[in-house]
């Protein structure tokens, strides 16, 4: 059945973000897909299929002034789901002591600071029972880090998780739910061809997890099967 709900998905050009946009369109939602290059063929394809249910907007999440401009552009839109998916990694084999300052800043700004700027900028635009979600990773769990590797990436997602908890704690009385999502290891440009999960399985599970937590309030760190992940 068609729904009047709207999802704002940041980083929807490919991989999990594009998969989330497709999943919500297939569920009858309206989707505002934020991409760095709105002419990219991958996001134009669902536009041909879903037409007016999909709006494609430009945003580089690391550009602070673009986030403020986006808020002004979307002034009249009510948002039921805000999902910040955009993320990057450096060379996962690089030990933290060998990471350049520039690379540290790039990964931390993209994965931790920028998503939280978006969440803070749009929190008051979320419907009262809406959901604000960020794409973290199982690698962001401090408790489950037994193996090392992906050291800067892990740290950036652990920072994202902590910041999401802080924002949710400041809004503890709201009915809005704050979700930190671990999508599993998924076959994308970042996940690589050996990953066990396809995009469709991961995003279907994520959308189901989000649906089950609408209107619950609070903050949770969950995987694509809606299982709790240890912080
Ligand atoms: N795949 C996995 O196994 C896995 C596991 C755990 C967590 N994750 C997380 O899931 C998210 C999506 O990953 P993926 O596997 O789909 O990776 P991907 O295929 O490399 O896609 C990354 C997405 O992030 C966007 N992005 C990167 N920097 C951006 C910026 N500055 N502004 C706006 N968009 C930006 C990219 O846009 P462009 O096309 O413009 O570059 C692209 O849409 C990431 O946060 C990642 O850390 C993935």
Mean pLDDT confidence for 24-49:
94
Q: Which helix (H) or strand (E) holds 106?
A: helix 101-108
pLDDT for 54 equals 96
pLDDT for 173 equals 86
Q: Are 32 and 77 in contact (CB under 8 A)?
A: yes
Residues having CB closer than 6 A to ligand 1 are 11, 13-17, 36-37, 59-62, 85-88, 110, 135, 137, 183, 185-186, 188-191, 195
Per the prediction, the chain carries an average pLDDT of 95
Token pair recorded at residue 211: 């649906």
DSSP per residue, 137-195: -GGG-STT--S--SHHHHHHHHHHHHHHHHHHHHTTTSS-EEEEEE--SB-STTT-TT-
pLDDT tens, residue by residue, 37-69:
999 889 989 988 898 999 999 999 999 999 999
pLDDT for 3 equals 64
Mean pLDDT confidence for 118-144:
96
pLDDT for 226 equals 97
pLDDT at 2 over 60: no
Residue 13 CA to ligand 1 center (angstroms) comes to 9
Query: What's the CATH fold of domain 6-223?
Result: Rossmann fold (3.40.50)
d(CA 168, CA 118): 14
Burial bucket for residue 53 (CB in 10 Å: 0-12, 13-18, 19+): middle
Residue 126 DSSP SS3:
strand
Residue 137 CA to ligand 1 center (angstroms) comes to 11
Closest by CA position to 123, among listed 84, 181, 66? 84
- Buried (b) or exposed (e) across 99-119, using 16+ Cβ within 10 A? beeeeeebbbbbbbbbbbbbb
pLDDT tens, residue by residue, 188-222:
999 999 999 999 999 999 999 999 998 889 999 99
d(CA 12, CA 188): 13
Closest ligand 1 atom number to CA of residue 111: 45
Position of tokens 């979320």? 126
Residue 173 CA to ligand 1 center (angstroms) comes to 31
pLDDT for 178 equals 97
Closest ligand 1 atom number to CA of residue 135: 45
pLDDT for 4 equals 86
Token pair recorded at residue 184: 């599993």
Mean pLDDT confidence for 157-167:
98
Share of the chain above pLDDT 70, in %: 99
């Amino acid at each position: 059945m068609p729904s009047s709900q709207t999802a704002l998905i940041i980083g929807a050009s490919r991989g999990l973000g594009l998969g989330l946009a497709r999943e919500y369109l297939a569920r009858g939602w309206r989707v505002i897909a934020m991409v760095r290059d709105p002419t990219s063929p991958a996001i134009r394809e669902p536009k041909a299929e879903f037409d007016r249910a999909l709006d494609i907007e430009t945003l580089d999440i690391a550009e602070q002034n673009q986030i403020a401009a986006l808020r002004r552009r979307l002034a009249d839109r009510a948002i039921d789901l805000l999902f910040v998916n955009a993320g990057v990694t450096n060379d996962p084999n690089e030990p933290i002591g060998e990471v350049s300052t520039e690379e540290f800043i790039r990964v931390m700004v993209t994965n931790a600071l920028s998503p939280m700027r978006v969440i803070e900028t749009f929190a008051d635009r979320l419907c009262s029972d809406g959901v604000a979600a960020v794409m973290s990773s199982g690698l962001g769990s401090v408790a489950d880090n037994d193996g090392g590797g992906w050291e800067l990436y892990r740290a950036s997602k652990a920072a994202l998780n902590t910041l999401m908890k802080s924002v949710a704690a400041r809004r503890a009385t709201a009915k809005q739910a704050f979700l930190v999502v671990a999508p599993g290891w998924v076959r994308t440009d970042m996940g690589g061809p050996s990953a066990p999960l396809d995009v469709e399985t991961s995003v279907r599970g994520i959308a189901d997890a989000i649906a089950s937590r609408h209107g619950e309030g609070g903050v949770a760190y969950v995987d694509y099967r809606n299982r709790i992940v240890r912080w």
